[in-house]
Amino acid sequence: MALIDELKQRSGNKCELCESTANLSVYEVGPSSSNIRGNEILACAKCIAQIDKKEDFDPKHWACLTTAMWSEVAPVQVTAWRMLNRLRHETWAAEAIDMMYLDDENMVWAKATGDHEGDNSVDLHKDSNGHVLENGDSVVLIKSLDVKGSTVNARLGTVVKNIRLDPNDTAYVEGRIEGQSIMIKTMYVRKQGAQIIT
C-alpha cells in the first residue's frame, strides 16, 4: 500500500492536525535520521505552510492542537508539541503544553529542530509595499541601481521576470537584467500587478 493511502486510512482522509479535508499531502516531520517510514503525517496545505514558516502565522487556526495533541501517532504528537510551543504566549497553548506528555524518545525528537526555542514570527521575502514574493514572480524596480562589477545600470521601472528567492536572506531576490544574473534588495522592488497596501 502506498504511503499516502496508509496515511489517509489512518487519518480518515483528514489533516491529522486541523482535520481539514482540502489540499492534503504527506508531510515528513524532521529531522529524519534514516529513510525508514514512520515520521510522516497527513497535513493540509495551510498547516504545512505555517509549520514551514512560509505563510504568516494564524494562531486561531492552531486551536485544533488541543485535540491533535492527544493523538497516539508520534509524529502528530511531536508536531503538536512544536506548534504549541510557538504559541506558548497564548494562555490556552501554555496550559496545553503543561498537560501534554511525550515519552523521552519523542521529546528528544520534538526538541531536535530547536523550533520550540523560537517564536511564531515568519520571515518572508516581501517587496517594498509588504507583498509576499515567490519564486517565479515578476517585479518592477522602484529605484535605479548600479550593478557592481558590471556596466549594467538597472533603471527605475525595469521589469525583472522570473525572480528566485535567496534561501539564506529574505532581504534579497535574484533576477536577470540584460542577460546578467544579479542580486536585488527586496526594498527596491515592487511585485508586478500587486496593489499598494494601505
Task: Examine the domain organization and report whether 74 and 149 are in the same domain.
Answer: no
Classified as helix, coil or strand, 94 is helix
Q: Do residues 136 and 161 lie in contact, with contact meaning Cβ atoms separated by under 8 Å?
A: no
Which residue range is the domain that position 99 belongs to? 3-117
Query: Domain boundary at 70, 99, 117, which?
Result: 117
Length of the chain measured in residues:
198
Question: What phi and psi, each to the nearest 5 degrees, are found at residue 120?
Answer: -95, 15
Task: Examine the domain organization and report whether 33 and 62 are in the same domain.
Answer: yes
Location of C-alpha cell 541601481: 145
In this structure, the strands spanning 40-44 and 180-185 are unpaired
The reported pTM is 0.65
CATH number of the domain that residue 193 is part of: 2.30.30.40
Query: Domain boundary at 88, 117, 146, which?
Result: 117
Walk along the chain (198 residues) and give the pLDDT tens digit of each residue. 789 999 999 999 999 999 999 999 999 998 865 555 689 999 999 999 999 888 888 899 999 999 999 999 999 999 999 999 999 889 999 999 999 999 999 999 999 887 666 655 667 788 888 888 888 999 999 988 877 777 777 889 999 999 998 888 888 899 988 888 888 999 999 998 876 654
pLDDT at 14: 97
Give the type of residue at 48.
Answer: I
The reply to whether omega before 75 is within 30° of 0 (cis) is no
Q: How many domains does the chain have?
A: 2
Task: Examine the domain organization and report whether 159 and 67 are in the same domain.
Answer: no
Task: Examine the domain organization and report whether 182 and 97 are in the same domain.
Answer: no
- For residue 156 the three cell numbers come to 527605475
Task: Examine the domain organization and report whether 102 and 40 are in the same domain.
Answer: yes
Task: Examine the domain organization and report whether 72 and 100 are in the same domain.
Answer: yes
Task: Examine the domain organization and report whether 109 and 84 are in the same domain.
Answer: yes
